[in-house]
Structure 1
Amino acid sequence: MPGPRTLAADPGSVTTLLRAALPAVPGLNLLPGVRKAPAEGFGGLTWDRPGAVVERAHVEQYAAVCGFPRRDVVPVTYPHMLAFPLHMAVMSDPAFPWAALGMVHVENTITAHRDVAVGERLDVRVSVGAARPHDKGVLLDFDTTVRAAGEPVWESRSTYLRRGSTVDGVPAPGLVIPHQPTGGTQWRLPADLGRTYAGVSGDANPIHLYPLTARALGFRRQIAHGMWTLARSVAAIENRLPEAVTVEAVFRKPVFLPSTVAYAARRDDDTWTFALTNPQDDSPHLVGRAVPAGAAGAAGSAGGA
């Protein structure tokens, strides 16, 4: 694995989108600096973002879009905003064999070790290892560690599916969350939700923006960001979660915009299970759970950087 690369600053959503798109453009994808390395022999990449400051204005924008209250500590899902530019840096790196467009976010695990305060200065590291086998392609685990003064305060694993490619091995079982709750509260999601969240997150993937841009990539119309569906689901119960918590989620079906979804949550001892479903047939868009960090049955620390 090559040594860590460093991202000096957030490049912005337009630059991020261009870097992600170029490897998918015939002809341009052969240019030096754009051309992707072969998948065979890929051992992993690490990118660092030192000294990222948690800005109050951005936290409040994120909280408003995702349904969290205004507080002096960040929502438990917020540090993903600091890691996302590094996810894109990895995916856009010529040493990463797969183009960013076409990567499908299928699972996510977050472990918060303590609250992160607005104004803290944090060091963020994202590492991805060798691809794992999957029935429909390969899986790539993006492990994030966020440190304050050298101590880990937040970790996550975002697992992406890349269809088509293959690697040797037997696919491991994915995250299974039994006893999905159904029914509950219905939320009406507007057509511009993807554009609103993109403006806060920097994730301007065309599948989230407009019907035309989504259809160009195989969707009948734009879809909500998976991390918005997770954040909104956690926001509904965050005031009942411990400070040190592990949140796991499986993304099942896309949420087309505009649409109506149903949200339900259930508590069993120290475990909260929640789901975002289609209210017409209870089919899940997202199923997740939250447990105290380190509790039996939790995924535990997801990062490994």
Structure 2
Amino acid sequence: MTATSHASRNPRLVTLPSLPGLGGLYAKGVASSGRIAVTRSPVGRVLPGPRDLVLPDVVYRVDDVPTSGVTEHLTAYQRLIGERVCDTLPAGYLHVLAFPLATALMVRGDFPLPLLGLVHVSNAVSVHRPVGVGDVLEVRASAEHLRAHRRGVQVDLVTEVSTGGELAYRGVSTYLAKGFGLPPDEPPSRRIEEAPREEFVPPLPTARWELGSGTGRAYGAISGDRNPIHTSVLGAKAFGFPRTIAHGMYTAARALAEVGAARGDAYDWTVEFEKPVLLPGTVQVAITRVPDGAPHPGGFAYVGWHGRSGKRHFSGAVTPR
């Protein structure tokens, strides 16, 4: 068995007529997750069979995506997240726009990992130029860099948004599939271990978020991501959570909004997710300037944590380009 980012250096370009709807994709993902689950042993070793850990060798593309009619939806997103209401699509909104195309890749019959149970562990976004209401977009999505991890395997879902033939946005969402294993003869360079984390000492908070029990439903209504772990107590309990949890991209996008206009028109935005935010819940947040000589100089570091336990929920950086 093998593991590879793409079977060739020239993946097949598949053009779809429009961006798909997430509702139908999730239904398809439930069915495909059940099929993939039976190919694993109880200890997580992938059993011999026709399904190898090979990513689909395709790039999905949708041309001529209009934004002229998104003003009402964009405004609702901006108000929920705390972004300034304007005609510029922030990076978090572009993630929402492109996410269904990436999901369409993850529910393909030849995608080797189950949609249900994938854990979103990090995001790395580059905004090269602002995208405004009225721009006509090309959206692309691909799956890349399948690699081993001590708890399973990780994969990157890459989305790109271009306008006028120019790349405006690139987002890399990294997911962990627990319990999967790559072949024992896989080169050591592909067996990724987590670097030890430094002990987290909470800084002085600059904000305090009071997140109500309906936060997941509110973001789900705007983003289309109605995964039951975010919208249903029973659904959350089925996956081992005592209550619903906030969407990771809601918390990351809200931190981006807290940075505000200081990020500029072009910026890099990263986030790593750790402990999920249970709803209802309170999140302490600190956003600080990055000093010269440190990683991401001239930018902003942010972190969110649980006030009582001191456990970190997420951390990241926003750096003007």
Question: What TM-score do the two structures reach when normalised by structure 1?
Answer: 0.87
Corresponding residue SS for 2:23 = helix
Corresponding residue SS for 2:104 = helix
CA contact (8 A) 1:112 1:154 kept: yes
**2:21 pairs with 1:8:** no
What is the aligned counterpart of 1:59 among 58, 74, 78?
74
1:242 aligned residue:
264
CA contact (8 A) 2:160 2:170 kept: yes
Q: Which moved more, 1:116-125 or 1:178-187?
A: 178-187
Q: 1:274 to 1:17 in 2, by over 3 A?
A: same
2:144 aligned residue:
129
1:116 aligned residue:
131
1:46 aligned residue:
59
Q: 1:179 to 1:281 in 2, by over 3 A?
A: closer
- Which residues in structure 2 correspond to 1:1-305 (within 5 Å)? 1=7, 3-25=12-34, 38-42=51-55, 44-54=57-67, 55-167=70-182, 168=186, 169-171=190-192, 181-269=203-291, 270-293=298-321
Percent of counterpart pairs with the same letter?
A: 32
The one-letter amino acid paired with 1:49 is V
Corresponding residue SS for 2:72 = helix
Q: 1:215 to 1:126 in 2, by over 3 A?
A: same
The one-letter amino acid paired with 1:204 is R
The one-letter amino acid paired with 1:228 is Y
Q: 1:211 to 1:104 in 2, by over 3 A?
A: same
The one-letter amino acid paired with 1:170 is R
CA apart distance, 1:125: 0.7
Q: Which moved more, 1:7-16 or 1:77-86?
A: 7-16
Q: 1:64 to 1:175 in 2, by over 3 A?
A: farther
Q: How far apart in 2 are the matches of 1:249 and 1:186?
A: 18
Question: What TM-score do the two structures reach when normalised by structure 2?
Answer: 0.83
CA apart distance, 1:53: 2.0
The total of aligned residue pairs comes to 288
Q: What root-mean-square deviation, in Å, do the aligned CA atoms of Structure 1 and Structure 2 show?
A: 2.6
Q: 1:11 to 1:175 in 2, by over 3 A?
A: farther
The one-letter amino acid paired with 1:16 is L
Q: How far apart in 1 are the matches of 2:77 and 2:89?
A: 9
Q: Which has the larger radius of gyration?
A: 2
Q: How far apart in 2 are the matches of 1:127 and 1:186?
A: 36
Corresponding residue SS for 2:91 = coil
CA contact (8 A) 2:153 2:177 kept: yes
Q: 1:91 to 1:27 in 2, by over 3 A?
A: closer
